[in-house]
Amino acid sequence: MAAFAHSESDRVVLLCRPGFESDCAQEIQWLAQRLNVYGYIKTESRQGYVEFIVFQPTDLTTLAAQLNSDSLMFARDFMVTGAAVSELDTLDRVSGMLDALAADFTCSTITPWTNDDNEGKSLAKLSRKLVKPLRNALEQRGQWQDSAQQALTILALATDRFYLGSLPVAAQPKWPNSIAHLKFPSQAPSRSTLKLEEAILFFLTAQQQENYFGLGKTAVDLGACPGGWTYQLVRREVQVFAIDNGAMDEGLMASGQVEHIKADGFVWRPQHPVTWLVCDMIEQPARVAALMADWLADGSAERALFNLKLPMKKRFQEVLKCCDIIAERLHAMPYDIKVKQLYHDREEVTVYLARTA
């Protein structure tokens, strides 16, 4: 097992959307408990990250081996670290950082973290500036190896205070800090188009995108109006049934690929099975989860991408409850489920659900 970056590692720090600290905290505690790893949480409201400090630092290896940024629902990234490195000389931060570094730690990459608030963004600039001098110093000390399996991560908390941590290269998120930089397509009728675009890029491999979209593929978009999600399907050459009592964007209707049906999304069903079921209805999450599972269970759709809106306080528990509902309804068939609070999600998570046989 490779060494952790911080010589006194005793915690996992998880980056999350500001305001979702308690959900992120509950998730890491839930995961740790399943591995018989115990510890306590330190966080503050809206600080954008959570610390999980383990009672037995030797347990960190067990916990870290099971973590993967892309599989965490509410965390955007994680690092194994120790107490923040403080009172750094602002004229030479690198030396102070190296003092905290384990002598046997080697890495092949350095990732500066961006905390998603205004102060965090300006501090992230400072972290980015430190990457090159830190790398040079690591090279000189023989702690930089292109084949190393660990990534060094830094999060600036103040100009003289940093977290210096690490995670396996293979456990890094798909995009740095899970920040999806997407350009809003000017023809799309609503900004929520970016949610479905991010979901497609995040959950599906390039090969899956090629296999499951394109001419001949069909989709149902429940709660489609004005058409931001439908737009993503249309641009991927899919034929779409848009279900909503509202008004659809005229440009999308002119594509000839959309049939707008004014009906209740909880009642309407297609005459033939479709490739995709997508759903952005603002409804109780448990109700949406049950609906999605039923479509897959009776063969109305092959796979689904949907949002679970989470305006309640106990969001993590609500997501677990929805996963249980899906498991109960799909008990007889193998399926794949992935849940993530995507970068473009707000009080919601996105779910990918597919039958695998």
Ligand X SMILES: C[S@@+](CC[C@H](N)C(=O)[O-])C[C@H]1O[C@@H](n2cnc3c(N)ncnc32)[C@H](O)[C@@H]1O
Alpha-carbon span 243 to 269, nearest angstrom: 10
Q: Which of 200, 225, 233, 238 binds ligand X (CB under 6 A)?
A: 225
| Cβ nearer to ligand X, comparing 77 with 280 | 280
Q: Which of 39, 112, 173, 226 binds ligand X (CB under 6 A)?
A: 226
Q: Which of 244, 318, 345, 348 binds ligand X (CB under 6 A)?
A: 244
Q: Which range of residues in 76-84, 102-110, 260-268, 287-295 is near ligand X by CB under 6 A? A: 260-268
The residues, any chain, with a CB within 8 Å of residue 75's CB and separated by 6 or more, are: 14, 15, 16, 24, 27, 28, 50, 69
For the bound state, the minimum distance from the C-beta of residue 212 to ligand X, rounded and expressed in Å, comes to: 19
* Cβ proximity of 256 and 199 under 8 Å: no
331 C-beta neighbours (distance < 10 Å), count: 10
Alpha-carbon span 231 to 234, nearest angstrom: 5
The residues, any chain, with a CB within 8 Å of residue 177's CB and separated by 6 or more, are: 15, 76, 77, 111, 113, 114
R_g of the chain computed on alpha carbons? 22
Alpha-carbon span 75 to 77, nearest angstrom: 6
CA atoms within 13 A on the CB side of 246: 13
Q: What is the dihedral of CA 290, 304, 72, 77, to 10 degrees?
A: -140
For the bound state, the minimum distance from the C-beta of residue 247 to ligand X, rounded and expressed in Å, comes to: 9
Q: Which range of residues in 15-23, 262-270, 328-336, 342-350 is near ligand X by CB under 6 A? A: 262-270
The residues, any chain, with a CB within 8 Å of residue 45's CB and separated by 6 or more, are: 19, 21
- The two beta strands, 274-279 and 348-355, are unpaired
CA atoms within 13 A on the CB side of 291: 24
Instruction: Name the token pair of 204.
Output: 């599906």
Does residue 309 carry a catalytic annotation? yes
Q: Which residue is nearest to ligand X, using beta carbons?
A: 228
Q: Which residue in the list 309, 313, 314, 338 is annotated as catalytic?
A: 309
| Cβ nearer to ligand X, comparing 135 with 287 | 287
Residue 48 engages ligand X in binding (rule: CB under 6 A) = no
Question: H or E segment at 306?
Answer: strand 301-309
For the bound state, the minimum distance from the C-beta of residue 184 to ligand X, rounded and expressed in Å, comes to: 12
Site size toward ligand X, by CB under 6 A: 23
Alpha-carbon span 199 to 29, nearest angstrom: 26
Residue 192 engages ligand X in binding (rule: CB under 6 A) = yes
Q: Which range of residues in 59-67, 115-123, 138-146, 241-249 is near ligand X by CB under 6 A? A: 241-249
Residue 229 engages ligand X in binding (rule: CB under 6 A) = yes
Q: Is 303 helix (H, G, I), strand (E, B) or coil?
A: strand
| Cβ nearer to ligand X, comparing 140 with 251 | 251
| Cβ nearer to ligand X, comparing 246 with 273 | 246
For the bound state, the minimum distance from the C-beta of residue 14 to ligand X, rounded and expressed in Å, comes to: 28
Q: Which of 264, 298, 328, 336 binds ligand X (CB under 6 A)?
A: 264
Q: Which of 61, 190, 209, 300 binds ligand X (CB under 6 A)?
A: 190
* Cβ proximity of 110 and 135 under 8 Å: yes
Chain residues 270-309 in contact with ligand X, contact rule CB under 6 A:
280-283
Residue 354 engages ligand X in binding (rule: CB under 6 A) = no
Residue 223 engages ligand X in binding (rule: CB under 6 A) = yes
Chain residues 114-173 in contact with ligand X, contact rule CB under 6 A:
none
Residue 9 engages ligand X in binding (rule: CB under 6 A) = no
Active-site annotation, residues: 309
What is the binding site for ligand X (CB under 6 A)? Answer: 189-190, 192-193, 222-229, 243-246, 264-266, 280-283
